[in-house]
Amino acid sequence: MNINDNMKLGLIAAVSIIALFVLSLFISQAPANDDNAIRFGILTLLPPLVAIGLAFITKETILSLFMGVFVGEFMLCVNDLNIVSTAVNAFLQMGSQIISCMADPWNAGIILQCLLIGGIIQLVTKMGGAKALADTFAKRADTPRKAQLFTWILGLCVFFDDYANSLIVGPIMRPVMDKLKVSRQKLAFIVDATAAPVAGIAIISTWIGLEISLIAAGFQSVGVTNVTGFGIFLQTIPYRFYNIFILIFIVISAVTLYEFGPMKKAEQAARKRDADEKVIVPNAPGFDEVKPVEGIKLSIWNAIIPIGTLIIGALIAFYWSGYTTILGGEDQALIAIMKTAPLSFNGIFTALSQSDASVALFQAALLASIVAIVMAVGGKILTIEDAISEWIGGMKTIVITGVILLLAWSLGGVIGEVGTASYLVGVLKNALPQFIVPSLIFILGALISFATGTAYGTMSILMPLAIPLAWAVSSGDMSFTIVCTSGVLTGAIFGDHCSPISDTTILSSMGTSCSHIDHVQTQIYYAVFVACVAIFIGYIPAGLGISWFISLPVGIVVLYIGLKVLGEKVDFDEVEDSSS
């Protein structure tokens, strides 16, 4: 370490100490209040801003999340100007926060299923299934345009869960995209944009149980009991402007090959690669170094059967989880449905909406792991010892993702304690013209979800506030309230899709072996552009009573024109160009 490095470290340390002292000074002088959002005021924004800001500056995700959590815990521990004592207490509380997140059954289930899916992908790769599948896709997806559309279609097929989408679609399509000189950043964007945006509007998914329960509770709070959460959910779908527009934007971009912002530069750089040049992404976890066992016959069934087991097993596990939960509960109406028509559409939907997604996905991933191991051993591709070793090796590639998820969840917990979401709601919910309310709710959802990195948390915070607000300002107009309800659901998707501290953003980076910060920096421009179209073409007109029949077609035209105006076509080579 040279003198300049020592000076930089010393300067950083000095600035950090001064910043902590100033922070302590502000907090210690604030009037005592049980509501942290009131006590901290604008300082509630500090933890997410520190995490997000450092992520862009340092490009170190773990360090940035760590500092965001530490700053939040420091704020909660301030009692006086003794920053040494406060820092020690904050560090100790931070350890407790991380352990608490790990102990949460939902979080533990998510980490375990991610580890198992990592093992499955490694086994599928060693058996040659991934390469065979990629070769099959490559024969049909023989241009960057077709490859992007294939990825989009696969993303739509894995509709039931955003985590599964990120971890399945990315590894399958990555070699195809690399061969066709499509950037990892573009692949990560397509995977991410077909994860939460699809799962959030699918009528069979791991999201719908929370969504319909929040909707039902919100309408009950204003005295409306003659509607069902599912019925309202269906009516919100045409007004989920961000979800719909981001999915359509992918198609427009893929077909036209127009890009703008950092994504354009990433695509231009990718097109300049040699066809056989290996793509090396520093600090991007993935499965790049895994190659099929030498001499084996490549078969797509070595990929289709384990992954198909994962998907079908997940759907069955969702149903069984909900079925047993209902029968073990006290809701007689639901129990009656399960006893009289368990396999009807209503019965299946009811069971899926009551399932524990993290447990169900873990069970499905465990079953798929066993199937993959049996196939590897039964097909004499690997010995039982080698198969288990490869399975564990695949899990190791996900460990870094587990660390990031734990820190992201910890940051979300700290943000909840300091009152970031409550502060944002309080600042932005002032009296406004009625037609602005749907846009305001969407913007609130987008800001909260971006700052906290969680769609579920945003929905849980905002839905109980949004429905009564919409009902009050519209004097009980059901259509207007439904538009506002959709604003909560799709605003929450915005942050879940593009926040650097969102778990699906992290998993999309991992699944595609793309640098996490590069993924965030390239897709944020697209997400903001689509969000603006959703506001100005979707929610403002909807607030004025204009039907989605008009807004959606106009929005698609605006997306196309906007991409043409802002972007530039990134051509591929002449051989491929002539084949298109």
Query: Which range among 210-219, 273-282, 391-400 shows the weakest confidence by mean pLDDT?
Result: 273-282
pLDDT in tens, 289-341: 567 777 788 888 988 898 888 888 888 888 888 888 888 887 788 888 888 88
Determine whether 221 is exposed, middle or buried from the number of CB atoms within 10 Å of its CB (0-12, 13-18, 19+).
Answer: middle
pLDDT in tens, 417-443: 888 767 766 776 655 678 888 998 899
Burial track 203-215 (b if 16+ CB lie within 10 A, e otherwise) = ebbbbbbbbbbbb
- Any bridge partners for residue 568, and if so which? 259
Kindly report whether the global pTM for this prediction surpasses the value 0.75.
Answer: no
* E strand or H helix at 569: strand 568-569
The sign of the CA dihedral 233, 238, 240, 243 is positive
Cβ atoms of 361 and 164 within 8 Å: the answer is yes
Cβ atoms of 446 and 493 within 8 Å: the answer is no
Is residue 267 pLDDT above 80, yes or no? Answer: yes
For residue 562, the one-letter residue type is G
Distances (CA, A) of 10 to 13, 18, 56: 5, 12, 22
Query: Which range among 204-218, 301-315, 357-371, 492-506 shows the weakest confidence by mean pLDDT?
Result: 204-218
* E strand or H helix at 259: strand 258-259
Question: Which pLDDT band, with edges at 50, 70 and 90, does 360 fall under?
Answer: confident
The sign of the CA dihedral 428, 434, 436, 437 is positive
pLDDT in tens, 155-182: 887 776 677 677 778 888 888 888 888 9
Distances (CA, A) of 548 to 18, 400, 490, 537, 556: 53, 43, 15, 10, 12
Cβ atoms of 506 and 497 within 8 Å: the answer is no
3-state secondary structure of 165: helix
In the structure, how many helices (H) and strands (E) does the chain have? 30, 2
For residue 289, the one-letter residue type is E
For residue 292, the one-letter residue type is P
pLDDT at 160 (0 to 100)? 66
Most confident of 12-16, 122-126, 263-267, 404-408: 263-267
pLDDT at 528 (0 to 100)? 95
pLDDT at 210 (0 to 100)? 66
Alpha-carbon distance of 49 to 334, in angstroms, equals: 44
* E strand or H helix at 485: helix 478-498
Provide mean pLDDT across the span 510-528: 90
* Residue pointed to by tokens 């801003």: 49
